[in-house]
Amino acid sequence: MAMSEFGIVYAVHIITVQFGSVVSKVCECLLRKGPLSSRDISRLAESDINHNQVKDILYLLIQHNCVQAFSIEPPDGSENKAIVQYIVLFNNILHRVRYNKFSRLVNEELGTECGAVLDGLLSNGRLTLGQLIERDRDSGKTIGSEAIRDSLQKLVAARFVERIPSPEPVLGNKEQEPAKKRGAKAAKILKEPETLEERVVEAATPVDAIRFPLIFEEDANSSLAVDDSNITEGKRKQRDVDSSDPSSGVIWRPNFEEFIHRLRHKACVEIVKERRDEGCAIVLRAMLEVGRSQEKKVKTDNSAPMSIGSIYEEVIKTEAGRTMLQERVEACLDQLSATSSYLPAFVTEMNDSYIVDFKSIISVAQKDEIEAVVMRRYGKEAFRMFRYLSQEGRFVETDKIADAALTEKKDTPQFLLKMWKDGYLHMQKLAITGTYVPFLLWKVNKLIVTRQMLDEMYHASLNLNLRLAHELESEKELLMLPSDKLEGPLKERVKKVKAKRLLLSSTMFKLDDAIMLFHDF
């Protein structure tokens, strides 16, 4: 999905707060202009930054996984060398405000020691095992080199941590690639990445055996990484696992894809729990665990097929599921497979196997969020119109909308025009012979509405961040006072400031959940 204006402004704000205004100028230049060479950035960035400063800033952003370098193969017969370009990773910038969520996931699943190792990687971007051990020694609460090694191994095994990607992948020149004829079935399976960012990320990502190696290097103090910069995309994918030298220091980083994957699963379970019941949520959680290893991408529409036996086997592994008989599990699967006028099927049954329909589950939550905004902003009448048009999924004339939504025909155009002006409806005018007034048709375009919602949520997140920063800055001196000096009115003021900070932080936390629902899930 294309970046919106407030999406760019919000991403720039995140970088400004964490790295300063000079770094944010380079980041904004890449966000607005697209991939550029370091020379072009120093020329186009709206600041007096020389070329050496630009290179230092790019290295900093690469260290923190916000920028990826790449080059494109020159056309055949060309004597020009491939120029290294830099592309900003918009998603990774947004992930920087989710570090607390990522830490909580690891602490709950793998324990606090693994959480401490992850925190080191989140705050530093990329580290070797030796650097993690050195960081632990310098900290006040050391857990020891063996605990660091074991924790890192657990994190890699769980795919929360990965080896860094190729520092400079080489992309094939699409203009000279011959078009391949594919059948309809093959075209569905072999989808080309839609954007240049996706192509770059895919080319830089090693195969799983290299990305999540099982062998840990003996020399933990070495800080040299395996050099992938001169390996082309095709050769790198074929490289043997045994090429990882035990004496080299592998550089590690957090695997954001896995964190979003887990958060998506948690969101699906919560949606089913709210819409169905606790038993259905337990069964769905088990199904997600069974099919997790087969999901190659976060935005997967459907899970792999799974049998009732494998589902029940996973259900009884949990404390909540041990009380459930197989008959109860089958009844829950029937509930999940059922459709109604207001709910789609969350699970599809096919040849005695069951498939989780992620798209249906996520779409229900998205629909709830959009309708809640329409209700708050435009009122009950507009809400009924919007819901009717969403269910119809086609262009409908004004009078039919008024009849279906039980609203006055004279007021209906006003509500529809308000929603259209704000981007929530798509309008089509039909000229009819013999009349001066055009015939209006209305429709909900989900893609347009989703983009509109996202842009508004980025704007709201930006405003909340700015408000929180203002509140903390205005009361900075008060918050620095020792607790023994806080009496009477001062104590009450501190309580109010902390309550306001907690409210703003929790609102930002929930708003980011909504952003993930529309952008990442």
The pLDDT value given to residue 77:
57
Q: What is the DSSP string of 23-43?
A: HHHHHHHHHHH-SB-HHHHHH
* Per-residue pLDDT band at 78 (split at 50, 70, 90): low
Q: Give the whole-angstrom CA distance, residue 422 versus residue 438.
A: 21
- How confident is the model over 353-396, as pLDDT tens digits? 999 999 999 999 999 999 999 999 999 999 999 999 998 889 99
Q: Are strands 426-430 and 439-443 parallel, antiparallel or unpaired?
A: antiparallel
Q: At CA 321, angle to CA 316 and CA 322, rounded to 5? A: 60
Which range, 28-37, 220-229, 476-485, has the best average confidence (pLDDT)? 28-37
Q: Evaluate if residue 425 carries a pLDDT over 70.
A: yes
In Å, how far are 194, 268, 382 from 451, measured between CA atoms? 17, 21, 20
- How confident is the model over 200-236, as pLDDT tens digits? 999 999 999 899 987 554 444 444 344 444 444 444 4
* Cα torsion 401, 365, 326, 310: sign: positive
Residue 84: count of CB within 10 angstroms of its CB: 16
Q: What is the DSSP string of 126-186?
A: -EEHHHHHHHHHHSSS---HHHHHHHHHHHHHTTSEEE---SS-EE--GGGSPPPP--HHH
Of 37, 41, 61, nearest in space to 50 by CA: 41
Q: Give the whole-angstrom CA distance, residue 205 versus residue 166.
A: 7
Q: Evaluate if residue 301 carries a pLDDT over 60.
A: yes
Q: Give the whole-angstrom CA distance, residue 515 versus residue 455.
A: 9
What letters, b where the CB count within 10 A reaches 16 and e where it falls short, cover 199-234? bbbebbbbeeebebbeeebeebebeebbebeebebe
Strand-pairing partners, residue 67, are 88
In 246-286 the beta strands, taken as DSSP E runs, fall at 251-254
Retrieve residue 62's tokens. 């690469």
- In which residue are the tokens 């990687």 written? 121
The pLDDT value given to residue 16:
96
Contact 468, 452 (CB under 8 A): no
Contact 481, 416 (CB under 8 A): no
| Phi–psi pair at 310, nearest 5 degrees | -70, -35
In Å, how far are 261, 262, 369 from 289, measured between CA atoms? 12, 10, 27
- How confident is the model over 248-299, as pLDDT tens digits? 489 999 999 999 999 999 999 999 999 999 999 999 999 999 998 888 888 8
Of 516, 470, 460, nearest in space to 98 by CA: 516
Q: What is the DSSP string of 321-342?
A: TTT--HHHHHHHHHHHH---SS
| Phi–psi pair at 217, nearest 5 degrees | -70, 145
Retrieve residue 436's tokens. 């001066």
| Phi–psi pair at 481, nearest 5 degrees | -70, 140
The pLDDT value given to residue 227:
43
- 3-state SS, one letter per residue, for 50-107: CHHHHHHHHHHHHHCCCEEEEEECCCCCCCCCCCCEEEECHHHHHHHHHHHHHHHHHH
Q: Give the whole-angstrom CA distance, residue 84 versus residue 41.
A: 12
The pLDDT value given to residue 2:
67
Q: Which residues contact 413 (CB under 8 A, 6 or more apart)?
A: 398, 440
Retrieve residue 268's tokens. 């699906």
Retrieve residue 53's tokens. 């400063």
* Per-residue pLDDT band at 44 (split at 50, 70, 90): confident
Contact 346, 334 (CB under 8 A): no
Strand-pairing partners, residue 306, are 354
In 3-state terms, what secondary structure has residue 61? helix
* Per-residue pLDDT band at 434 (split at 50, 70, 90): low
